[in-house]
Structure 1
Amino acid sequence: MSFNGPIEESFPTPADIDRSTVSHLQKGYKISARKLPISKSGTIDEMEKKLGIPVPEMIFGGNMVSIEHVTTGWRLEFNAYDALDRVDKTDRNMLKVAYSQEWSSSRFDGVPFSHDPANVLSREKTHEGIKEIVKPFDWSYTTDYKGTITGKPFELQKDNENPIPIELLKRPDPILFFEEVVLYESELDDNGISLFSCKLRVMPDRMLLLCRLFMRLDGVLIRIRDTRIYVDFNTGKVIRDYTEREDAFDKVKQALLSSGRLPNDLTIALRDPNQISHLVPEVSHTLESLTLP
Structure 2
Amino acid sequence: MALNGEQSDLQGVDSIDSRNKQWRISTRKRPILKAGPIDAMNEKLGIPVPEMIFGDNLVAIEHIPSGWAIDFNAFDALDRVSKTADGMLQVAYSKEWQRDRYVLPEFCIKEVVKPFDWSYSTDFKGRTHSPDSAVVWQPTDQSKDPIRTDLLSRPDPILFYDDVIFYEDELADNGIAIFSCKIRVMADRLLLLCRFFLRLDGVIVRVRDTRIYIELASKTVIRQYTAKEESYDVVQSKLQIHRENIPEDTMDKVTIP
Scaled by the length of structure 1, what TM-score is found?
Answer: 0.73
Matched positions, count: 228
SS in 2 for 1:156: coil
* Structure with more of its chain in helix, by fraction: 1
Match of 1:227 among 186, 203, 210: 210
Gaps of 5+ in 1: 105-130, 266-293
SS in 1 for 2:248: helix
Q: Deviations over 1:39-87 (max 9, x none)?
A: 0111111111011000001001100100000000000000000000000
Q: Distance in 2 between matches of 1:208 and 1:8?
A: 28
Task: Report matched runs for 1:240-259 at 5 Å.
Answer: 240-259=223-242
User: Would you say 1:264 and 2:254 are equivalent positions?
Assistant: no
Q: Distance in 1 between matches of 2:247 and 2:240?
A: 7
Q: Distance in 2 between matches of 1:208 and 1:60?
A: 22
Task: Report matched runs for 1:13-92 at 5 Å.
Answer: 14=9, 17-18=10-11, 20-26=12-18, 27=20, 28-92=22-86
Q: Distance in 1 between matches of 2:225 and 2:2?
A: 21
Partner of 1:280: none
Does structure 2 conserve the Cα–Cα contact (< 8 Å) formed by 1:7 and 1:43? Answer: no
Across the aligned residues of Structure 1 and Structure 2, the Cα RMSD in angstroms comes to 2.2
Deviation at 1:217, TM superposition (A): 0.2
Match of 1:133 among 112, 117, 128: 112
Does structure 1 conserve the Cα–Cα contact (< 8 Å) formed by 2:23 and 2:62? Answer: yes
Q: Deviations over 1:76-125 (max 9, x none)?
A: 0000000000000000111111x46xx88xxxxxxxxxxxxxxxxxxxxx
Partner of 1:274: none
Look up the equivalent residue of 2:175 and give its one-letter code. Answer: G
Match of 2:186 among 203, 207, 227: 203
Partner of 2:124: 145
Deviation at 1:259, TM superposition (A): 1.7
Gaps of 5+ in 2: 96-109, 250-257
Flag the 1:40–1:170 CA change in 2: closer, same or farther, 3 A. Answer: same
Decide which structure has the larger Cα Rg and report it.
1
Look up the equivalent residue of 2:89 and give its one-letter code. Answer: L
